[in-house]
């Protein structure tokens, strides 16, 4: 075996851990053992170079919770669950959540080795593909449209590339304006169906009967082909899937069941999450939900993206400034803090809107970003003080980067000017610029 893949064995019973570990070590695997899910999570994360074998019944965090946690960290990590005799429903549930496979007690050692071998091969392929993609950069232009360097955005890019290449249906959910439609495009563009049909259908606010005919037929004389036909062989995007009436849910499911595996047409269902409202799972019949949610992408709200907020604001500010032929608005330190802490109920769409208005204001030479934010949400003071569990350090760093970036802009790259204004010694300023990837030459 080239550089052995690891196998993490998680079981609260020491005898069990050891016997599995010994057996697999004899078969040439590099094993490590953990007495609890909590312990394992300290070592096993995204890009873990191996696979996990975990017991389901454990005190503290049990195997199912552990599995869900792992899937949220790295959805392609193979996890093999150990189930006791008669745990069939649990095994089924585990598979639904994303387990790679399960092993029933008492073990058949050969099956265990076989599974471990297959799972590690799959893992190696995933990691190799990831490494290759990282080397090649993100490729497609559409991926470049996705601005953001926060950990959630990095994960989103990985997910798009992983799921894009898979064949199955995908469910995307998230609040309004978080980029769901953009991500649906990206999934199509990076996947095997790129270049084939890409058909977007809005399901909300339509008459049930008319919608049924538009989706599945029959077509009226001289009318358009039904959407499922238009999308054949490509991607069918169903916007606002939560609005699909029950009768049409049944038809959609029946149509999907006729698609074969892998499906001829890929469905990307988009669900709009209202704050505190019902989720997609509440609105869809369970069989349809599970069918769609085998692969799921949840877009984080803008307020959970930390420093990306400033990056997006700067990016769109520059873009509009170019469009309107004027300078990008200067963002004061206080305004940067307000941008970071605003609740952003309209997410990225709202941010784009504010960036555009800020550019227009600064062209007129009046108004501030603060006033735009205030007008957008009157309760800005009360609503902004939450930090949503983000570390203070993240705020401080994003803020510092923004402040230096802005001051450099205003001083057109004059180091002395910036040192003076920010009361920073030259060395500290240089260090901070290096840390944040800011280059003087960009401001001259």
Ligand X SMILES: Nc1ncnc2c1ncn2[C@@H]1O[C@H](COP(=O)(O)OP(=O)(O)OP(=O)(O)O)[C@@H](O)[C@H]1O
Q: Residue 360: name the closest of 328, 336, 334 by CA.
A: 328
Which residue, judged by CB position, is nearest to ligand X in the bound state? 179
What number of chain residues touch ligand X (CB under 6 A)? Answer: 16
Least distance between ligand X and beta carbon 176 (Å): 4
**Residue choice 61, 97, 127, 147 for contact with ligand X (CB under 6 A):** 147
Per-residue mark of binding to ligand X, 265-304 (x: CB under 6 A): -------x--------------------------------
The enclosing H or E element of 297 equals: strand 296-299
Which CB, 99 or 183, lies closer to ligand X? 183
Least distance between ligand X and beta carbon 244 (Å): 15
**Residue choice 50, 63, 174, 301 for contact with ligand X (CB under 6 A):** 174
Per-residue mark of binding to ligand X, 337-366 (x: CB under 6 A): -----------xx--x--------------
Which residue, judged by CB position, is nearest to Mg ion in the bound state? 181
Least distance between ligand X and beta carbon 183 (Å): 7
**10 in Cβ contact with 66 (< 8 Å):** yes
Interface residues with Mg ion (CB under 5 A)? 180-181
Least distance between Mg ion and beta carbon 44 (Å): 35
Q: Report CA 67 to chain centroid distance, whole Å.
A: 18
Note whether 180 binds ligand X by CB under 6 A. yes
Least distance between ligand X and beta carbon 198 (Å): 14
Stretch that binds ligand X, among 127-135, 175-183, 277-285, 289-297 (CB under 6 A): 175-183
Q: How far apart are CA 102 and CA 115, in angstroms?
A: 9
Which CB, 148 or 191, lies closer to ligand X? 148
**Which residues touch 249 (CB under 8 Å, ≥6 apart)?**
284, 285, 288
**Residue choice 36, 113, 181, 430 for contact with ligand X (CB under 6 A):** 181
The burial class, CB within 10 Å (0-12 / 13-18 / 19+), for 382 is: exposed
Note whether 329 binds ligand X by CB under 6 A. no
Q: Residue 77: name the closest of 39, 21, 119 by CA.
A: 119
**Residue choice 73, 97, 146, 419 for contact with ligand X (CB under 6 A):** 146
224 to 37, 64, 264: CA distances (angstroms): 54, 47, 21
**Residue choice 178, 314, 384, 407 for contact with ligand X (CB under 6 A):** 178
Question: Binding partner of residue 349 among ligand X, Mg ion, none, CB under 5 to 8 Å per kind?
Answer: ligand X
Q: Residue 414: name the closest of 426, 396, 403, 399 by CA.
A: 426
Note whether 152 binds ligand X by CB under 6 A. no
Stretch that binds ligand X, among 174-182, 190-198, 260-268, 399-407 (CB under 6 A): 174-182
Q: Residue 303: name the closest of 187, 418, 389 by CA.
A: 389
**Residue choice 179, 226, 234, 329 for contact with ligand X (CB under 6 A):** 179
**Which residues touch 103 (CB under 8 Å, ≥6 apart)?**
53, 80, 81, 82, 83, 111, 112, 115
Which CB, 181 or 298, lies closer to ligand X? 181
Question: Binding partner of residue 147 among Mg ion, ligand X, none, CB under 5 to 8 Å per kind?
Answer: ligand X
Q: Which residue has the tokens 């609503």?
A: 383
Helices (H), 325-391: 333-341, 347-364, 369-376, 380-384
Least distance between ligand X and beta carbon 268 (Å): 11
Question: Binding partner of residue 272 among Mg ion, ligand X, none, CB under 5 to 8 Å per kind?
Answer: ligand X
Q: Show the tokens assigned to 1.
A: 């075996």
Q: How far apart are CA 101 and CA 89, in angstroms?
A: 14
Which CB, 180 or 303, lies closer to Mg ion? 180
Least distance between ligand X and beta carbon 310 (Å): 13
**Which residues touch 398 (CB under 8 Å, ≥6 apart)?**
306, 307, 309, 310, 336, 340
Give strand pairing partners of 7: 31, 51
- Cα(first)–Cα(last) distance of the chain, in Å? 54
Binding site for ligand X (CB under 6 A): 145-148, 174, 176-182, 272, 348-349, 352
């Amino acid at each position: 075996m080239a550089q052995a893949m690891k196998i993490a064995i998680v079981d609260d019973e020491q005898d069990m851990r050891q016997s599995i570990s010994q057996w697999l070590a004899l078969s040439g695997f590099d094993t490590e053992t953990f007495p609890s899910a909590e312990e394992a999570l300290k070592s096993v994360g995204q890009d873990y170079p191996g696979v996990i074998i975990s017991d389901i019944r454990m005190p503290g965090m049990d195997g199912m919770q552990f599995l869900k946690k792992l899937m949220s960290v790295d959805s392609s990590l193979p996890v093999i669950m150990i189930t006791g005799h008669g745990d069939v429903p649990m095994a089924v549930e585990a598979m639904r959540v994303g387990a790679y496979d399960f092993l029933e007690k008492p073990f058949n050692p050969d099956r265990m080795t076989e599974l471990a071998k297959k799972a590690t091969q799959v893992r190696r392929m995933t990691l190799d593909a990831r490494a290759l993609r990282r080397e090649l950069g993100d490729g497609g232009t559409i991926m470049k449209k996705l601005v953001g360097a926060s950990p959630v955005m990095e994960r989103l890019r990985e997910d798009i590339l992983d799921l894009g290449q898979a064949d199955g249906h995908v469910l995307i959910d998230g609040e309004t304006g978080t980029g769901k439609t953009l991500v649906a495009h990206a999934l199509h563009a990076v996947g095997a169906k790129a270049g084939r049909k890409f058909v977007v259908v809005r399901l909300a606010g339509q008459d049930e009967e008319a919608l049924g005919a538009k989706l599945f037929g029959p077509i009226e004389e001289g009318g358009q082909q039904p959407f499922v036909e238009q999308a054949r062989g490509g991607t069918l995007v169903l916007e606002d899937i939560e609005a699909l009436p029950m009768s049409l849910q049944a038809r959609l499911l029946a149509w999907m069941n006729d698609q074969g595996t892998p499906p001829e047409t890929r469905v990307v269902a988009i669900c709009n999450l209202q704050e505190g409202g019902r989720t997609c799972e509440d609105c869809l019949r369970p069989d349809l939900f599970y069918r769609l949610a085998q692969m799921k992408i949840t877009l984080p709200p803008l307020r959970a993206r930390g420093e990306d907020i400033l990056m997006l604001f700067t990016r769109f500010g520059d873009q509009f400034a170019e469009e309107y032929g004027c300078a990008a608005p200067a963002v004061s330190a206080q305004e940067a803090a307000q941008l970071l802490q605003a609740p952003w109920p309209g997410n990225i769409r709202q941010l784009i809107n504010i960036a555009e208005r800020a550019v227009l204001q600064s062209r007129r030479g009046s108004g501030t970003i603060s006033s735009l934010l205030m007008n957008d949400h009157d309760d800005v003071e009360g609503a902004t003080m939450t930090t949503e569990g983000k570390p203070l350090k993240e705020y401080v760093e994003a803020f510092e980067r923004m402040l230096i970036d802005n001051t450099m802009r205003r001083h057109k790259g004059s180091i002395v000017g910036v040192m003076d204004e920010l009361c920073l010694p030259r060395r500290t300023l240089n260090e901070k610029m290096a840390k944040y990837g800011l280059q003087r030459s960009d401001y001259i």
